[in-house]
Each structure stands twice: as structure tokens, then as C-alpha cells.
Amino acid sequence: MKKTTLSFSFIAASVAYVAYLYFTGPADVSLSASSSTPASSSPAATVIALAPASASQSPAGSSPDPTVSVSSPTSTPAPTPVSSPSGKYVDGTYTGDSEGAYYGTVQVEAVVQGGKLAAVNFLQYPSDRRTSQNINNRAMAVLKSEAIQAQSADVSIVSGATDTSTAFQQSLTTALAQAKA
């Protein structure tokens, strides 16, 4: 009985260590997108997989050949922005509906500035389990970034956080519906 307990403890510790390395691994994380449905489907059908960047990838600005030097591009002055509040949303802060995810509830707040989606804040998300915390901490950053880039709730599903991603889309859709110009 004692050997079984020790073996189980070793396996549990090993699994916990691997999970720790996966979730707190190198900061260099690559996002790879793959579509699981035909090209005619909506962009929401795209799956984003979080995975550590492979060792064969060179860091930005480095050269695989040590005899070749790589220089940074020179900076040029940024163009002066044209003051045109041409966005598709009315400025303000809008709260989306609470949407159920498997391990909890997701609710977001959309911040619109200059007629564009400027920020997305999570008001509620599944966080009562350590696994939910680890998964959602990574997924939330990806979902926020994609929503701001897309200026809509049509974001890719994050692999491993399907329920959170779907609930995010639904909550953000209701928030942005309130912000329509």
C-alpha cells in the first residue's frame, strides 16, 4: 500500500510539474492558427493554439549566420493622425451580458474611444480552480487582443479554452450592440 501511495504521489508531482512548465514556460510563445472548418466559414471557427516557440526559430533581429549582421530599421516620424472620429461605435463603456461557461461565468466590458474598441475588460471569468486560472490567464490576453484588432466579437476560439472563448464572444457581442453608432 505504501509503494502505491508513493508511486501515485510521484506521478501526481510529475504531472503538476509538467503543467507548471507548460503554463509558466518561456515567455516566447507563438500563436498558430488553424482552421477546423471550410474556408467559407466565419472567422470565429479559427482555432488559436498556445504553444512554446520552437527552438529552431530565431529571435527577432538575430541572424542564423554569425557572419551576417542584422540592423534595425531606422525610425521615421509617425504621420500626424487626422482628427476624424470615424468609428462604428459611440464612445463609452458598455457591459455585456453574463454568459455561462462550463466552469463559471464570463462577462466583459467594452471600452470605446474615438469610435473604436479600445479595450476589453473581464468582469467575470472562471477562476475558482487553479487549472481554470492558468488556462484563462493565457486565453484572456489572446481574446482581448484579437477583439481590439478585429474591432468586433468575431475572434478565434482559443484551444483549451473553448467555453471561455464562446462565452467571451457572446458577452462582447451584447456589449458592442449597445455601442453601435
Q: Which three cell numbers stand for residue 83?
A: 482628427
How far are the Cα atoms of 65, 104, 108, 167, 175 from residue 121, in angstroms, in the given order? 43, 17, 6, 14, 11
Q: Please say whether the beta carbons of 181 and 89 come within 8 A.
A: yes
Could you tell me if residue 52 is inside a domain? no
Instruction: Give the contacts of 16 (CB within 8 A, at least 6 positions apart).
Output: none
pLDDT tens-place string over residues 14-50: 566 555 555 565 444 444 444 444 444 444 444 444 4
- Under the banding of pLDDT at 50, 70 and 90, the label for residue 103 is confident
Q: Supply the Cα-derived Rg of the chain in whole angstroms.
A: 21
Domain that holds residue 111: 92-179
Could you tell me if residue 126 is inside a domain? yes
User: What's the structural domain count of the chain?
Assistant: 1
Could you tell me if residue 137 is inside a domain? yes
Could you tell me if residue 166 is inside a domain? yes
The CATH number of the domain holding residue 110 is: 3.90.1010.20
Q: Please say whether the beta carbons of 70 and 58 come within 8 A.
A: no
pLDDT tens-place string over residues 110-129: 999 999 999 999 999 998 89
pTM of the shown model:
0.55
